[in-house]
Structure 1
Amino acid sequence: MPLPALSDHRKGLLLTAIGGLALSMDIPLVRLAHGDMWSILGMRSLTTVAVAVLVICLTSYVKGTWPVLVPGRHSLAAGLLYGCSTLTFLLAVFNTATANVVFIVAFNPMFGALLSWVFLKERPSVSTLVTMAVMVFGVGLIVHDGLAGGHVFGDAMALLSAFILASAITVGRASRRDMGFVPLLAAALPAILGFAKALPSGLAIEHPAWIILNGALLMPVAFWCLATGPRYLSAPEVGMFYLLETILAPIWIWLVFAETPPTMTLIGGAILVFAIMAHSLWMVRRRLARQSLAH
């Protein structure tokens, strides 16, 4: 018996809330580990791959068949992009403030809209174009502050991470195939790179338990919940829960490490958050209006 629409909606809200909350703890756990970047990259990625393989084996045992792990050549391109985004993301984490990272990476949906326009011929709405212009202004404030603060490389890596992640999502949408395991298995690429860089001199992680917790539990939970959410919610609603990382990660860092973001970063971040939230609420309202007219 199918669940009522309201129950499905609540299930989607719960899943995406859990996913966004888990994702918001990524950077704090990376910082708590107190390790070398390459060691962190290798350990975090390896544990994610290990959990993915375990889930695949359990799923195949229960169902009696192996899931399709690499659905076509598009998945290879998407996997390469996901692996590169992990590298650029950690480069950003280790080279700029946490608030800068999460605020700039929040530009990802707008990159996605732009790439879909160019490659998938999906012209964005006027509201999306206006939101993009506002977000460019907000990111510009943060990056300009990075130029003055000497962490322009980290800000550039955060912006590149958002672009690469949007590219991976666009490739996945173009293929119209289920790529649920691709982001998790793609972590093998940064794992190999991280260990290749770190092992000659030995792994340098003071508190590896934080990274194991992050890679083995929080990241798989976050990816799975946020990937499953669109089955029950609209894309704009899911997008709002991605904002949990943008809002909460700087708060966790402030509480744990007493790291206060610069004023200009907070201003630019507030512009980004309000722009995305306003756009998402507008899209949800328009979808509900269309549904009411259809009835």
Structure 2
Amino acid sequence: MAEFAQSAAADTASSARETRLGAVLVFLSALLWSLGGAIARYIEAPDPWAVIFWRSVWATAFLLAFMVWRDGWRGTLRLFRGMGLPGLAVAACFATASSSFVVALSYTTVANILLIQAGVPLIAALFAWIALREKVSGGTWVAIFFVVVGVAVMVSESLGGTVSPVGDGLALAIACALATATVITRRYSHVRMTPATCLGTIFAAAFALSQASALGVSGRDMGFLFAFGVVNLGLGLACFATGARMIPAALAALLGTFETILGPLWVWLAHAEVPSGRTILGGSIVFAALLVHIAREFRRHSQPPRPGVSGLPAPN
């Protein structure tokens, strides 16, 4: 009996350590992703497609090296072969989102992009209801409504000519692409995020290569492009892919909101880019709706299962 108690205590301690490590890794991913806008503002290359190409090339190199280190060559090839059509779809979504982010930076503020992007979990819930007929609770419908209102407030600036409609349109495209990838991954849970996103960086690099007028950049720009691809994109994805499997989805979503908080802050400190009043107002509505939704998810998952209902978690 004593040995059983010691074993249970050891398992509990191990689980707690894994949860803490997962939370640290997911927070680190949000921190790294939040640096994207500030790094991009330092790059002087005039052609955004050249920026997309080099960022994607560096991210691809890092992600491939990470997967080979983690799974070996055979394991990495097995992961790519096992993705199938769902993996290709997730890769296409990610290529769209990462490319749109770079182009959108030429037209709108980092705050606009990240605050619209904050609504991805709720947009995904809406898409899952449309495509998979997943049940959406009344509280989630209310949150989705406020996300729509908040985004409308931010986008309304483009209608008055204050900001470019292209920038806000691309920010919406990013949110929709990421939400679609979320729904596909939920439907096909065997799709591993790291190989799918690595394939997405390959897609983005290939398309950018066909669009770029010239790929030559200065040595200074290449240094920032290395950081943009490896640190911001590649390492951020590796941290998230590793840590998100160790913690509940609601906690991962909550920690992910730090990207939205910190991203505009770094750009303001480094480049004095101040978001407009409507961006702050609309973004606050989106962010508040997201936090309320996550808080409800926490309460729902923290409640003990009712008698006769299995408390086993769904497999990752």
Q: TM-score surpassing 0.5?
A: yes
List per-residue Cα deviations over 1:70-106 (Å, max 9, x = no partner). Answer: 4222111221222122222222222111111101111
1:130 shift after superposition = 0.8
Cα–Cα, structure 1 residues 62 and 50, in superposed 2: closer, same or farther, change >3 Å? Answer: closer
| Map of 1:136 onto structure 2 | 148
Q: Which residue identity is paired with 1:282?
A: R
| Map of 1:240 onto structure 2 | 254
List per-residue Cα deviations over 1:205-228 (Å, max 9, x = no partner). Answer: 552211101212331221122233
Does residue 10 (structure 1) correspond to residue 20 (structure 2)? The answer is yes
1:53 shift after superposition = 2.1
**8 Å contact 1:19–1:226 — kept in the other structure?**
yes
Does residue 285 (structure 1) correspond to residue 299 (structure 2)? The answer is yes
Q: Which residue identity is paired with 1:215?
A: G
Q: Aligned partners of 2:95 and 2:182: how far apart in 1? A: 13
Partner of 1:57: helix, strand, or coil?
helix
Q: Aligned partners of 2:85 and 2:33: how far apart in 1? A: 28
Does residue 117 (structure 1) correspond to residue 114 (structure 2)? The answer is no
1:182-193 mapped onto 2 (5 Å cutoff): 182-193=196-207
Q: Which residue identity is paired with 1:37?
A: P
Gaps of 5+ in 1: none
1:264 shift after superposition = 1.2
RMSD (Å), alpha carbons: 2.2
1:62 shift after superposition = 8.1
TM-score (norm 2): 0.86
Cα–Cα, structure 1 residues 275 and 65, in superposed 2: closer, same or farther, change >3 Å? Answer: closer
Q: Which residue identity is paired with 2:173?
A: L
Q: Aligned partners of 1:289 and 1:229: how far apart in 2? A: 23
**8 Å contact 1:77–1:168 — kept in the other structure?**
yes
Does residue 270 (structure 1) correspond to residue 281 (structure 2)? The answer is no
1:21-40 mapped onto 2 (5 Å cutoff): 21-35=31-45, 36-40=47-51
Does residue 20 (structure 1) correspond to residue 62 (structure 2)? The answer is no
1:64 shift after superposition = 7.2
Out of 67, 78, 81, which is 1:56 matched to? 67
Gaps of 5+ in 2: 1-9, 312-316
Moved more, 51-60 or 24-33: 51-60
1:66 shift after superposition = 4.2
Out of 240, 245, 248, which is 1:226 matched to? 240
| Map of 2:273 onto structure 1 | 259
Cα–Cα, structure 1 residues 14 and 59, in superposed 2: closer, same or farther, change >3 Å? Answer: closer
| Map of 2:165 onto structure 1 | 152
**8 Å contact 2:111–2:279 — kept in the other structure?**
yes
Q: Which residue identity is paired with 1:33?
A: I
List per-residue Cα deviations over 1:248-288 (Å, max 9, x = no partner). Answer: 11111110111111111111111111211121112102211
Does residue 68 (structure 1) correspond to residue 79 (structure 2)? The answer is yes
Partner of 2:151: helix, strand, or coil?
helix
Partner of 1:69: helix, strand, or coil?
helix
Partner of 1:34: helix, strand, or coil?
coil
| Map of 2:182 onto structure 1 | 169
**8 Å contact 2:62–2:235 — kept in the other structure?**
no
Q: Aligned partners of 2:137 and 2:76: how far apart in 1? A: 42
Partner of 2:216: helix, strand, or coil?
coil
Identity %: 26
Out of 127, 135, 141, which is 2:139 matched to? 127
Q: Aligned partners of 1:41 and 1:34: how far apart in 2? A: 13
Aligned length: 294
Cα–Cα, structure 1 residues 269 and 65, in superposed 2: closer, same or farther, change >3 Å? Answer: closer
**8 Å contact 1:37–1:91 — kept in the other structure?**
yes
